[in-house]
A and B are shown apart, each in its own frame.
Chain A
Amino acid sequence: MSASGRNDARAAVMARMREALQSGRDGEAKETVRARLAASAPTLVPARADLDPEARIQLFIDQAKAVQADVERIERFADLPETIADYFRRHNLPMRLVKATDDRLDQADWNGGLLEVRAGPPEADDPVGLSAAFAGIAETGTLMLASDTDHPTTLAFLPETAVIAVPSDRIARAYEDALHAFRQAGQPLPRSINLVTGPSRSGDIEQTLQLGAHGPKRLLVVLVDEASGDAPIADIKASAGHQ
């Protein structure tokens, strides 16, 4: 289609909407929209996760387990390789993983043990991907991953097993609070923000739940209690209420 054809379509759809809404789009409507976009806040956040930090972490763990994630809690990032190797042994997985390049993950020594480790995006046959989450969401046991050069999104989707580490002080109450951290930092959103709640699943065959449809069959969440060095997200609370 030509460029002018495209503009015609836009103009026609806009004109139909404006006619239907009976608005020449006066200043008042524009101001309403501008103000709402400029000062966003959640309308209603369930009270479920309004808890003190430790109870909130416990809720996160319970909710993640309820959606078939495996959860380990450790003290230090340095313990990650051993925790992961143990998990691999228990699940009979090959001792091979591809990981994100991440300051927190790299506090551990990845070359000392039995694991064969590579950094970067995964290939089709990599059995395990290791990434680090931007935040965790207590409300539903969800992990929030932010993409950038060092955190390719495919790490959490392509391999059959995904391991995602998240510092305990990055467990937020609600999705909105974690996203508000981007606003507070004045950063544009990364290309991809992935919210991961349990391993991949499908109910498409006779409504029977099966794990590992296209994404990982297995999800290991590793909570690390050591201070992340980032601003603790647990304290952020997107201010309430348009209404």
Chain B
Amino acid sequence: MQPTSLAFKDNVKRALNDRALQSALALAEGGFQKNRAAAAARLPEFEALRDAAKTLKDHTLAHLDLYLEAFEQKASEAGAVVHWARDDAEARAIILEICRKADAKSVTKSKSMVTEEIGLNEALETAGIQPVETDLGEHIIQLAGQKPSHILAPAFHVTKDKVSDLFAEHHGRPRVEEPEALLGEARAFLREKYFQADVGITGANFLIAETGSIVLVTNEGNAELTQGLPKVHIALTGIEKVVPTLDDAFLLLRLLARSGTGQDFSAYTTLLTGPKRSADRDGPEEFHIVLLDNGRSNMLGTGFQDMLRCIRCGACMNHCPVYLTAGGHAYGWVYPGPMGAVLTPGFIGIEEGQHLPNASTFCGRCEQVCPMRIPLPKMMRHWREDQFQKKLTPPTARYGLAIWGFFAKRPSLYQFGTTIAIAALGLLGRAKGRFRWLPLASGWTGSRDLPAPAGTTFQASWRKQRGRT
């Protein structure tokens, strides 16, 4: 997928003026946020599970090579074929080759952000193979020619009216408006696609080293039909998804739905081990598992290793004031919100993704709700430092920081300067209590007033305060 992350600021401006998007984003508070809080409150062990999950994943990542080896061996013993891909191009090549061997005309897909990461749909279309997205949200945006704006709810930004328009245009049936009717129509339309497909492509929420199984989680049941009906199943996922045992997978599954949608458990959790057995009457004859690196191993052993704990629940974006103002498309690539602000520069480079770690007020809500306790703000700060060192930060900001740094290292000079500046600003703004314009501060005053300072510095007040106690 071609990133547009460099255009973040323009993307945000567009998003702010998009009323349909703004009304969709406003639903998150009464939906995702409320439901997550309720699910967490229903389970007394929720916080203890988060601690255990962090410990588990840290252990796994510290032994990632060994657990992947164990997974590969068990999966192969069960009859699956395990492939390795260094990058997106290798992953596309592997999948296209499997599709060609199966003489595939069409493939069904269940929602997978990793397939978005490698631009799989475009590659399939170029090769003359029709990709059919089956997740309702993915189906909607495939019809609209768009990309997901949320990792759980890809069509988060699309209004019901727009869905009616899209379905009427593409399904060749009279326009319907009720959500139930829309769902029924999508169900009927996609039903025959499952039976026509030669290959089914899914992601994998977890890989289990103990048994060589993959785990798929959906609410719609589309992954089960996607992998179960065609004669070939391909599961594409990142190397960080492995966990040691069945027990470990269920530890994480207890957190996944609660953190994301606020359900105790998703409607469907499926463990797949190997292809169709000789006596089975359904299931794929071939089962391929493609393990993708694409920048993940570069995060190991660095300050970004913690990010590899991510289980893609979506909680961070559901609670992020920036995401809920700008929407997912503004981030310009596959992964939006706080997790995207950390992952995207890792996957496509800090040059391309430089605006994303800055798209945060560091309010810390993402870290508060992350089931894997990933220190997201800290890692965004790591990227900002990296940017500064690579001189990617704009010159005005760099000079500004350099000047501030000069004074900050000289406390008496700093105090002298700030005392004068604050007193002057306090005096100037005394009449109205605020400024409508200030030199060098148009970024702030362009859209709102700057409150006038009280006239004394924090340090001065602090000294006074302490004298009193």
Give A contacts to B, CB under 8 Å: 1, 5-6, 9-10, 12-14, 16-23, 25, 29-30, 32-33, 36-37, 40-44, 46-48, 63, 67, 120-121, 124, 139-140, 142, 147-149, 152-154, 157-158, 174-176, 179, 188-208, 210, 212-216, 238, 243
Expressed in whole angstroms, the Cα–Cα distance for A231 and B247 within the complex equals 21
Expressed in whole angstroms, the Cα–Cα distance for A43 and B249 within the complex equals 11
Is the Cβ of A20 less than 8 Å from the Cβ of B280? no
Is the Cβ of B224 less than 8 Å from the Cβ of A157? yes
Is the Cβ of A205 less than 8 Å from the Cβ of B90? no
Instruction: Tell me which of B123-131, B238-246, B403-411 binds A.
Output: B238-246
B219 within 8 A of A: yes
A contacts with B: majority SS: loop
B316 within 8 A of A: no
Q: Among the interface residues A121, A149, A205, which one has the most CB atoms of the partner chain B within 10 A?
A: A205
Give B contacts to A, CB under 8 Å: 24, 27-28, 31-32, 43-45, 48-49, 52, 55-56, 59, 62-70, 78, 83-86, 90, 93-94, 97, 134-137, 140, 153-156, 159-160, 163, 179-180, 182-184, 186-187, 190-192, 195, 209-211, 213, 219-222, 224-225, 228-229, 239, 244-248, 250-251, 253-254, 261, 263-277, 279-283, 291, 293, 297-298, 300-302
Is the Cβ of B136 less than 8 Å from the Cβ of A40? no
Is the Cβ of A207 less than 8 Å from the Cβ of B297? no
In the complex, which residues of chain B have a beta carbon less than 8 angstroms from the beta carbon of A14? Answer: 65, 68-69
Asked if A13 meets B293 with Cβ closer than 8 Å, knowing A195-B268, A197-B265, A200-B267, the reply is yes
Is the Cβ of A238 less than 8 Å from the Cβ of B219? no
Asked if A179 meets B246 with Cβ closer than 8 Å, knowing A17-B65, A196-B268, the reply is yes
Is the Cβ of B65 less than 8 Å from the Cβ of A124? no
A127 to chain B, nearest CB (A): 13
Asked if A189 meets B222 with Cβ closer than 8 Å, knowing A9-B90, A206-B179, the reply is no
Is the Cβ of A205 less than 8 Å from the Cβ of B136? yes
Asked if A203 meets B261 with Cβ closer than 8 Å, knowing A43-B52, A213-B183, A213-B221, the reply is yes
In the complex, which residues of chain B have a beta carbon less than 8 angstroms from the beta carbon of A18? Answer: 65
Q: Which residue of A lies closest to B251 (CB)?
A: A43
Asked if A201 meets B179 with Cβ closer than 8 Å, knowing A152-B282, A189-B213, A243-B52, the reply is no
In the complex, which residues of chain A have a beta carbon less than 8 angstroms from the beta carbon of B78? Answer: 188-189
Is the Cβ of B183 less than 8 Å from the Cβ of A21? no
Q: Among the interface residues B94, B221, B298, which one has the most CB atoms of the partner chain A within 10 A?
A: B221
In the complex, which residues of chain B have a beta carbon less than 8 angstroms from the beta carbon of A203? Answer: 31, 153, 219, 261
In the complex, which residues of chain B have a beta carbon less than 8 angstroms from the beta carbon of A196? Answer: 267-268
Partner of A215, one of B55, B195, B267, B293: B267
A29 to chain B, nearest CB (A): 6
In the complex, which residues of chain A have a beta carbon less than 8 angstroms from the beta carbon of B66? Answer: 25, 29-30, 33
Is the Cβ of A12 less than 8 Å from the Cβ of B86? yes
Expressed in whole angstroms, the Cα–Cα distance for A36 and B64 within the complex equals 13
Q: Tally of A-B residue pairs with Cβ under 8 A?
A: 269
In the complex, which residues of chain B have a beta carbon less than 8 angstroms from the beta carbon of A174? Answer: 250
In the complex, which residues of chain B have a beta carbon less than 8 angstroms from the beta carbon of A120? Answer: 281
Is the Cβ of B245 less than 8 Å from the Cβ of A37? yes
Is the Cβ of B83 less than 8 Å from the Cβ of A200? no
In the complex, which residues of chain B have a beta carbon less than 8 angstroms from the beta carbon of A124? Answer: 191-192, 195
Is the Cβ of B270 less than 8 Å from the Cβ of A37? no
Is the Cβ of B94 less than 8 Å from the Cβ of A1? yes
Show 26 residue pairs from A and B whose CB-CB distance is below 8 angstroms, ordered by the A residue: A9-B83, A9-B85, A16-B298, A25-B65, A29-B66, A40-B247, A43-B251, A46-B49, A124-B191, A139-B264, A152-B280, A153-B283, A154-B229, A176-B246, A190-B273, A192-B273, A193-B271, A193-B273, A197-B268, A204-B137, A204-B155, A205-B136, A212-B187, A214-B134, A214-B221, A216-B221
Is the Cβ of A21 less than 8 Å from the Cβ of B65? yes
In the complex, which residues of chain B have a beta carbon less than 8 angstroms from the beta carbon of A189? Answer: 78, 211, 213, 271, 273
In the complex, which residues of chain A have a beta carbon less than 8 angstroms from the beta carbon of B83? Answer: 6, 9
Expressed in whole angstroms, the Cα–Cα distance for A84 and B272 within the complex equals 30
Expressed in whole angstroms, the Cα–Cα distance for A53 and B302 within the complex equals 49
In the complex, which residues of chain B have a beta carbon less than 8 angstroms from the beta carbon of A32? Answer: 63
In the complex, which residues of chain A have a beta carbon less than 8 angstroms from the beta carbon of B248? Answer: 40, 43
A67 to chain B, nearest CB (A): 7
In the complex, which residues of chain A have a beta carbon less than 8 angstroms from the beta carbon of B190? Answer: 214
In the complex, which residues of chain A have a beta carbon less than 8 angstroms from the beta carbon of B156? Answer: 207
Is the Cβ of A198 less than 8 Å from the Cβ of B251? no
Partner of A22, one of B59, B272, B301: B301
Expressed in whole angstroms, the Cα–Cα distance for A29 and B122 within the complex equals 42
Partner of B136, one of A23, A37, A176, A213: A213
Is the Cβ of A202 less than 8 Å from the Cβ of B183? yes
In the complex, which residues of chain B have a beta carbon less than 8 angstroms from the beta carbon of A210? Answer: 179-180, 183
Q: Which residue of B lies closest to A189 (CB)?
A: B273
Q: Which residue of B lies closest to A12 (CB)?
A: B86
Partner of A33, one of B63, B135, B229: B63
Expressed in whole angstroms, the Cα–Cα distance for A217 and B151 within the complex equals 24
Q: Among the interface residues B94, B134, B160, B264, which one has the most CB atoms of the partner chain A within 10 A?
A: B264
- Given contacts A44-B52, A148-B279, A213-B221, could you give 20 more A-B pairs where the C-beta distance is less than 8 Å? A1-B94, A13-B297, A16-B297, A22-B301, A33-B70, A43-B251, A44-B45, A46-B49, A67-B267, A120-B281, A140-B265, A147-B283, A157-B228, A197-B267, A202-B220, A207-B32, A210-B183, A212-B184, A213-B187, A215-B225
